[in-house]
Amino acid sequence: MAQAHRGADELQLAVQLVAMTVVWAGGYPDIIPTAGEIWPRPQEVKQGHTSMVVDPLDFRFVVTDYDCDILQQALERYLKIIANYPSNVQPQGDGKGGNLKSCLNSVQVSLVSACEEYPHQGMEESYEIKVNSSGIRSNAIIASQSIWGILRGLESFSQLLVPVGSVYTLASTTIKDYPRFCYRGLMIDTARHYIPVRRIEEMLDLLAMNKFNVLHWHLVDDQSFPYQSEKFPDLSDKGSYSKAHIYTAKDIADVIEYARVRGIRIIPEFDTPEHMKSWGPGQPNLLTPCYADDKPDGTYGPIDPTNEQNYEFLKSFLTEVDSRFPDNHIHLGGDAALAGSKCWRSNPNITKFMEKLGISEKYNKLRALYTKRLFDIVWELPNTDGFLVWEEVFDRGIDLPDNVIVQVWILHYLDVWKRSLQQITSVGFQTIMSSCWYLSDTIGHNWRRYYACDPRDFEGTPEQKELVLGGEACVWGEHVDATNIIPTAWPNACAVGERLWSSTEHTSDPEDAAPRLEEHRCRLLRRGYGVSPIFSSYCDADTSF
Amino acid sequence: MAQAHRGADELQLAVQLVAMTVVWAGGYPDIIPTAGEIWPRPQEVKQGHTSMVVDPLDFRFVVTDYDCDILQQALERYLKIIANYPSNVQPQGDGKGGNLKSCLNSVQVSLVSACEEYPHQGMEESYEIKVNSSGIRSNAIIASQSIWGILRGLESFSQLLVPVGSVYTLASTTIKDYPRFCYRGLMIDTARHYIPVRRIEEMLDLLAMNKFNVLHWHLVDDQSFPYQSEKFPDLSDKGSYSKAHIYTAKDIADVIEYARVRGIRIIPEFDTPEHMKSWGPGQPNLLTPCYADDKPDGTYGPIDPTNEQNYEFLKSFLTEVDSRFPDNHIHLGGDAALAGSKCWRSNPNITKFMEKLGISEKYNKLRALYTKRLFDIVWELPNTDGFLVWEEVFDRGIDLPDNVIVQVWILHYLDVWKRSLQQITSVGFQTIMSSCWYLSDTIGHNWRRYYACDPRDFEGTPEQKELVLGGEACVWGEHVDATNIIPTAWPNACAVGERLWSSTEHTSDPEDAAPRLEEHRCRLLRRGYGVSPIFSSYCDADTSF
């Protein structure tokens, strides 16, 4: 059903409009963007020789099969993106305005299974698009087995539209697309600096537009505890930077919902046993008092693993976390801080405890003992059936359960990460790679470095490669806050996004990627996101920033 | 004249308000800001033990001597800054709320000479501030010989105010201040990316708030020609990225005026004989056609120095520039592009021309010949009596007139710049240093590196040191546009600003500077500027970004 056709006269007019407004711009930008290419690059794209006109003010989606709130909200978002037509577009590339055959004013959206409520590990994300023009008739369909595939397909469809004059042109296109990796994440750190919810939502918009499916939320750390617990409100009341620097239950719920309808999982991280300084003021006796000259020196170290009440606290705290975050994965941290063992070593109660257990001086054993207790707690959480840890937890030889995902982050230079992936997968654990993708210390032109990295580029069997679920870009917060998180993370994260979604043969050449990335950046600017430039160039929307 | 005093009751109330609202915030930020310190640090500051209350809604400036439009506009700006009180301030440091003695509701502004119309090389910028409290009486004065000193003093005064609760506290303070260097610049590049006027104005705001006095505007380059000439409109019509990426005569005038009233000079750069690709389309026969296989290959090199008409063009073009930009300095560029000589070498007309002059193969001589002609043109411009060039012009042994300022930019590592400064000043030329201060390739935490650099830190006589007029931070545009210029340039440029204004003994220790820089960043955020963080921390205003 559902396609109205413009008459021949109307089409003629539209074609003339397109032709009239193709004004070639000047200057010598170092990169010329493509027109109507999709980022990240789909697995299969075929384009025909004909193209059609889409009028932003006369366009609709027609739902032909299953429907749900996620779909309705997505259609509304993309209608808005399409209707928000830029006013001064002077196409740089070939606007694909040639051989215009027809107008397209609706697209069928065919979701052939009922919606799932939440995105999840291993969700189906494949989709197909067919846009076809013959004579004055044209038709288009976006189809998927899954609401998540429909979301990815809508994003791709919106990227096919090339603004020319006051309309879009759209080439006849067939797409079959699916992700290479099932885990495509980005981490934000809201402990070193607080990131307002509206900025996190902007990050989620951009994640969706680059087909990421996980936001790993490094919520708390030594510096501050902005996460507001219902059971333990003192944690944020005493551990946040200020009352204005807190994520309330409503804030958390808003972020989760915002991500849900975009097909993005929120995986919260509560890092223990170290990096916990900010937990201390709100939870007495949680942390180990450090000693100097045989007395507590007023500073605190890692969690005190000798105090049974601390496990009760963790159980209660994590049970609330488990009920608040719908994703069935949680990140348990576990990265090392050098000062940790030193504080444990200084504390006579810890020393006595270790003697009693016959593990004197073996601080990794103490850590293992703590971690085992933590895993037992997490194991019993009703809504959690898998978790992530930083790679040190693996390196220390702690017994890990099967359902762990080890996040590799150490040394993106010297290829140390390849050895880590090799070792972790050789004993059968799942893993994700972040070593190459620490985005917080660089600016735009480093996208090529990020783009050059493949999470499966290490020595291993096909089975080992399969254990690499994907990767995660990390945006640490020491130098990043609301003032600069968008231009710091983007377009660098775009490069990671394509690496995680697209095939290796489609992502091997940064020279091929650059003009497509330039188009994508201009597109994101047009949508209102302040994404940094990749090299000397311009976009029609860069004057509005 | 001119000071109203609150009664004892009112003061009592204000003091109570301050005491009530000093809520100490939590968390463990890595930097704790100072309270009421001035950035860049004044030459002399003495603070007493008493302090007073300033009510943002009951405060005014009283002009006691000379007045002018620049002064009136400045008072309006600073009243607005003071009245724009943040809503949720929780002081981190000592709010200097102790020992409150009185309320201050006006400040005398004493300008003892008539205003100059435009800021200029060597302008007077010193000022004094006295804020005094005794009993319930308090008084304050900002005084200077010059409107430019008053502007610097107003900025300093505004920084003394520490928001606490719903008022400010202000310590009794005496300041005598003047700049160490007379040239304190920042360069922006609007050729690689277009920067909208409103963003340039935001940069000017920040320059004024860090006591810079020059914006060096690298207007055009190979990539684009956004500068609109009245006599030669084809230059931007054919050489800009698009019609939306042009600075019109009105845009230019707006920027100059915006800078003028803030005591900032605008020095435009028109870089020749290389980096001129974008000039080509709008001015036929200006550039040298490059040859391959004995024919023009369709590409163009540097300006064609054999064509007499080109000197006529330059004279006409620069005469317009001279009339449009009131500053009596212009930047003539002159930096090298390797491809330049290669194109000249390929062109048979150039070769013939050089043979005739007996300078075959001596491309530096050809360059010198061109440069001499250019200097002769500039020399005759009615409003220009000095100019800047990049250091290659000096390196090539081109005859330079006395009124040149050589800008040193090469190699900020290996201390090559120190040798350059030594050589340039040893033959008596004035210079400014930029080598250490290329801000466009790094992020926030590098401020320490910028801060460590002193433009007079080279081997030379006191006379040589005097020839170093100052320095200039450079924000090149390859990776910088409106989306990221503010957080890329700031707070890094703050570090440069203090280095250029303050004494060496006051700027030798980054550990001392860090808490003051943190306060300054928070202040700039409060004023609405998205300045990047320097390390893990928070500001009361960082949630509004």
CB A529 within 8 A of CB B476: no
pLDDT at A230 over 80: yes
Closest CA in chain B for residue A280: B27
Minimum distance, in Å, between the CA of residue B244 and any CA atom of chain A: 8
- Are the Cβ atoms of A543 and B194 closer than 8 angstroms? yes
pLDDT the model gives residue B398? 82
Could you tell me the pTM of the whole model?
0.95
Token pair belonging to A531? 């994404």
Residues 6+ apart with CB under 8 A from B354: B360, B361, B362, B365, B366
The helix (run of H) or strand (run of E) holding residue B319 is helix B308-324
Distance CA A239, CA A243 (A): 10
- Are the Cβ atoms of B538 and A196 closer than 8 angstroms? no
pLDDT at A3 over 50: no
CB A168 within 8 A of CB A56: yes
Closest CA in chain B for residue A87: B244
Nearest residue to A27 via CA among A539, A475, A545, A375: A539
Residues 6+ apart with CB under 8 A from B405: B183, B329, B386, B387, B388, B389, B429, B430, B431, B432, B469
What is the C-alpha end-to-end distance of chain A, expressed in Å?
42
- Reduce the DSSP state of residue B317 to 3 states and report it: helix
pLDDT at A399 over 70: yes
Structure ipTM over 0.85, yes or no: yes
Minimum distance, in Å, between the CA of residue A295 and any CA atom of chain B: 23
- For A451-463, the pLDDT digits (tens) are 999 999 999 999 9
pLDDT the model gives residue A149? 98
Minimum distance, in Å, between the CA of residue B543 and any CA atom of chain A: 6
Residues 6+ apart with CB under 8 A from A95: A18, A22, A35, A162, A164, A169
- Are the Cβ atoms of A26 and B488 closer than 8 angstroms? no
- Are the Cβ atoms of B243 and A534 closer than 8 angstroms? no
Distance CA A69, CA A48 (A): 34
- For A150-166, the pLDDT digits (tens) are 999 999 999 999 988 78
CB A332 within 8 A of CB A269: yes
- Are the Cβ atoms of B30 and A223 closer than 8 angstroms? yes
The helix (run of H) or strand (run of E) holding residue A295 is strand A295-303
CB A138 within 8 A of CB A47: no
**Taking CB atoms and an 8 Å cutoff, what residues of chain A touch B538?**
193-194, 224, 241-242, 245
Distance CA A128, CA B174 (A): 73
> What average pLDDT does the segment A490-511 reach?
96
**Taking CB atoms and an 8 Å cutoff, what residues of chain A touch B90?**
242-244
% of chain A with per-residue pLDDT over 70: 90
Distance CA A306, CA A349 (A): 8
pLDDT the model gives residue B90? 55
pLDDT the model gives residue B415? 84
Nearest residue to A495 via CA among A217, A186, A214: A186
pLDDT the model gives residue A280? 97
Token pair belonging to B58? 């009951």
A369 confidence band (pLDDT: 50, 70, 90): very high
> What average pLDDT does the segment A69-94 reach?
81
Residues in chain B with pLDDT < 50? Answer: 1-6, 21-24, 93-96, 444
pLDDT the model gives residue B18? 58
- Are the Cβ atoms of A241 and B29 closer than 8 angstroms? yes
**Taking CB atoms and an 8 Å cutoff, what residues of chain B touch A489?**
none
- Are the Cβ atoms of B242 and A525 closer than 8 angstroms? no
- For B143-198, the pLDDT digits (tens) are 999 999 999 999 999 999 998 878 899 999 999 999 999 999 999 999 999 999 99
pLDDT the model gives residue A16? 59
- Are the Cβ atoms of B194 and A538 closer than 8 angstroms? yes
Minimum distance, in Å, between the CA of residue A385 and any CA atom of chain B: 32
- Are the Cβ atoms of B538 and A193 closer than 8 angstroms? yes
- Are the Cβ atoms of A531 and B483 closer than 8 angstroms? yes
Residue among B196, B237, B536 whose CB faces A223 most closely: B536
- Are the Cβ atoms of B192 and A536 closer than 8 angstroms? yes
**DSSP letter (8 states) at residue A271:** -
Give the CA dihedral A341, A345, A348, A351, nearest 10 degrees. Answer: 90
Q: Which residue of B23, B24, B538 to mutate against A (max A Cβ within 10 Å)?
A: B538
DSSP assignments along A425-480, one per residue: HHTT-EEEE-GGGBGGG--GGGHHHHHT--TT-SS--HHHHHTEEEEEEEE-STT-
Residue among A239, A479, A483 whose CB faces B26 most closely: A239
Chain mean pLDDT for chain A:
91
- For A63-73, the pLDDT digits (tens) are 999 999 999 99
Closest CA in chain B for residue A237: B26
- Top-confidence range, A111-115, A360-364, B391-395: A111-115
Minimum distance, in Å, between the CA of residue B27 and any CA atom of chain A: 5
CB B171 within 8 A of CB B159: no
pLDDT the model gives residue B88? 52
pLDDT the model gives residue B166? 80
Residue A387's Cβ-count burial label (10 Å; 0-12, 13-18, 19+) is buried
Residue among B281, B532, B543 whose CB faces A479 most closely: B532
Counting one residue from chain A and one from chain B, the pairs whose CB atoms sit within 8 A come to 207
Residue A331 or B18, more confident: A331
